Amino acid sequence: MVRAIVGANWGDEGKGKITDMLAKESDIIVRFQGGSNAGHTIINNYGKFALHLLPSGVFYDHTTSIIGNGVALNIPYLINEIHSIVERGVPKPHILVSDRAQILMPYHVLFDTYEEARLAGKSFGSTKSGIAPFYSDKYAKIGIQVSELFDEEGLKEKIERICEIKNVLLEHLYHKPLLDPAELLETCHQYRDMVEPYVCDVSSYLYDQIKAGKTILLEGQLGSLKDPDHGIYPMVTSSSTLAAYGAIGAGIAPYEIKDIITVVKAYSSAVGAGAFVSEIFGEEADELRRRGGDGGEFGATTGRPRRMGWFDAVATRYGCRIQGATEVAFTVLDVLGYLKEIPVCTGYEIDGNVTKDFPTTAKLEKAKPVLTTLPGWNCDIRGIKKYEELPENCRNYIEFVEKEIGVRISMVSNGPGRDDIIMR
Ligand code: GDP
């Protein structure tokens, strides 16, 4: 059985926590897109971890963690991340890396940094992890697949070709030092030795495991609104964040994905640039940011303060639809306990018309939020295990959101820990 765990919003919905929790009863967890540019925060019996590249299922000794072909694979980063969790007492995880995954090279990070500097104030708010240059190269067919590390002649040729193109840009556009093919080849040799123990024909492996009836989780990074096709283009990431892409980025049949658990946060937060209709500012935003997530809403990779907003039902309904959500995990609800009243964005006003349909970017830039205010519950709901034991106003908030988004909320997360969950 394959289940996807994906985000309906801008990312940071709490997918890591839900994955870590569901991994307990799963065999295999697969990352299928993205790279080390965003993080998942996980709190469990080993402590608090910020994972960037490893799937959030690595904390159990019965699970296999997979880096699928769709991921931007930063090899030294992966090796360091493995070391860093083992150092803290986590059993050495069983990890497989797809032989078709492509490698994020040091020059991708450089190009990301140079381009951000060149764009200055008009940048996309990149985390400078090299993700956009990496995926550009993949589709321009100058990427390096893991399998290519083991073909010395082909690799040499490819590196020459890469340097020809990159060095023109480095010299004439960025005015930076050029790439040296011999040095890049040496880097690739080091990467080959580091990754060799983990390399696997992942799609064939997963085919057999599915046939054997294993439980597989596909863990998404970021959320619907950061998808390059269906998100707020161009303020998006460079690989698809949708469950449908899970089939491609892991190498399995699309019809094997039976359950799409879409993670929705009880309020909004976003990093980077782009329209954010229900955004709040000033003291109101600072307070929510301070109280948000676990210890404040700051990027797990960059430490940047996240932009804050009220729950956006328009964006979330769309985000769930485009994911194909079969159920919703509603997270970080406990954080809203301090509010007497809770505004929810239930419509967008664009050029004088109110809509509930999420528009394309140019129209989105013009949208003003239509807010509906719900009464708060004004107490701490952490520790509650049963739905009926939640305060009435809290249940009303959940049921209001459920109706707005049109997908069943099957789990309510009321704290960052593994067991802070209410099954409905
Ligand atoms: P991801 O990228 O979707 O995995 O999300 P992140 O891990 O970046 O952000 C979620 C943050 O919220 C983390 O700091 C989690 O520890 C925290 N978190 C997750 N679920 C809950 C919850 O129900 N309540 C609270 N207070 N924090 C939560």
- The pLDDT tens digits along the chain (424 residues) read 999 999 999 999 999 999 999 999 999 999 999 998 877 788 888 998 888 999 988 999 899 999 999 999 999 999 999 999 999 999 999 999 999 999 999 999 999 999 999 998 777 777 889 999 999 999 999 999 999 999 999 999 999 999 999 999 999 999 999 999 999 999 999 999 999 999 999 999 999 999 999 999 999 999 999 999 999 999 999 999 999 999 999 999 999 999 999 999 999 999 888 899 999 999 999 999 999 988 888 876 677 899 999 999 999 999 999 999 999 999 999 999 999 999 999 999 999 999 999 999 999 999 999 999 999 999 999 999 999 999 999 999 999 999 999 999 999 999 999 899 999 9
Rounded-to-integer distance, Cα 232 and Cα 89, Å: 40
Rounded-to-integer distance, Cα 242 and Cα 222, Å: 9
Ligand 1 binding pocket includes 300 (Cβ within 6 Å): yes
- The strand ranges marked E within 151-213 are 199-200
The answer to whether the beta carbons of residues 35 and 134 sit under 8 Å apart is: yes
Q: What DSSP assignment string belongs to 31-79? A: E-S--TTS-EEEEETTEEEEESSS-TTTTSTT-EEEE-TTSEE-HHHHH
What integer pLDDT is reported at residue 271 of this predicted model? 86
In the reported structure, the alpha carbon of residue 308 is separated from the centroid of ligand 1 by a whole-number distance in angstroms of 14
The answer to whether the beta carbons of residues 200 and 99 sit under 8 Å apart is: yes
Q: Which atom of ligand 1 is nearest to the CA of 415?
A: 24
- The strand ranges marked E within 188-338 are 199-200, 216-223, 257-265, 268-270, 307-309, 311-312, 327-331
Q: What is the DSSP letter of 172?
A: I
Q: Which residues of 222-240 are buried (b: 16+ CB within 10 A; e: fewer)?
A: bbbbbbeebbbeebbbbbb
In the reported structure, the alpha carbon of residue 293 is separated from the centroid of ligand 1 by a whole-number distance in angstroms of 5
Is 40 annotated as catalytic? yes
Helix (H) or strand (E) holding 107: helix 106-119
Helix (H) or strand (E) holding 417: none
Q: Which atom of ligand 1 is nearest to the CA of 223?
A: 3
Rounded-to-integer distance, Cα 311 and Cα 276, Å: 11
Rounded-to-integer distance, Cα 65 and Cα 83, Å: 15
How distant is the alpha carbon of residue 152 from its chain centre?
Answer: 34
| Dihedral pair phi/psi, residue 57, rounded to 5° | -105, 10
Ligand 1 binding pocket includes 39 (Cβ within 6 Å): yes
Ligand 1 binding pocket includes 306 (Cβ within 6 Å): no
Ligand 1 binding pocket includes 415 (Cβ within 6 Å): yes
Ligand 1 binding pocket includes 288 (Cβ within 6 Å): no
Helix 152-169 / helix 106-119 crossing angle, nearest 10 deg = 10
Of all protein residues, the one whose alpha carbon is nearest to atom 20 of ligand 1 is 416
Rounded-to-integer distance, Cα 15 and Cα 4, Å: 10
In the reported structure, the alpha carbon of residue 25 is separated from the centroid of ligand 1 by a whole-number distance in angstroms of 20
* Cα 338-340-346 angle, rounded to 5 deg: 105
Rounded-to-integer distance, Cα 58 and Cα 198, Å: 14
In the reported structure, the alpha carbon of residue 339 is separated from the centroid of ligand 1 by a whole-number distance in angstroms of 19
What integer pLDDT is reported at residue 301 of this predicted model? 67
- What tokens appear for 272 in the block? 């980077």
Rounded-to-integer distance, Cα 368 and Cα 85, Å: 44
Is 230 annotated as catalytic? no
What integer pLDDT is reported at residue 273 of this predicted model? 83
Active site residue: 20, 27, 40, 52, which one? 40
Q: How many CA atoms lie within 13 A of 322 on its CB side?
A: 26
User: 3-state SS string over 268-290?
Assistant: EEECCCCCCCCECCHHHHHHHHH
Ligand 1 binding pocket includes 170 (Cβ within 6 Å): no
Helix (H) or strand (E) holding 210: helix 202-211
What integer pLDDT is reported at residue 126 of this predicted model? 77
| Dihedral pair phi/psi, residue 115, rounded to 5° | -70, -40
Q: Which atom of ligand 1 is nearest to the CA of 293?
A: 12
What integer pLDDT is reported at residue 41 of this predicted model? 80
Helix (H) or strand (E) holding 294: none
Q: Which atom of ligand 1 is nearest to the CA of 300?
A: 8
Q: Tens digit of pLDDT for each residue in 255-307?
A: 999 999 999 999 999 988 889 999 999 999 999 999 998 888 887 667 789 99
CB atoms within 10 A of CB 36: 24
Rounded-to-integer distance, Cα 255 and Cα 221, Å: 21
In the reported structure, the alpha carbon of residue 397 is separated from the centroid of ligand 1 by a whole-number distance in angstroms of 19
Please, is 387 exposed, middle or buried when counting C-beta atoms within 10 Å of its C-beta (0-12, 13-18, 19+)?
A: middle
The answer to whether the beta carbons of residues 10 and 223 sit under 8 Å apart is: yes
Q: What is the pTM of this model?
A: 0.95
In the reported structure, the alpha carbon of residue 13 is separated from the centroid of ligand 1 by a whole-number distance in angstroms of 6
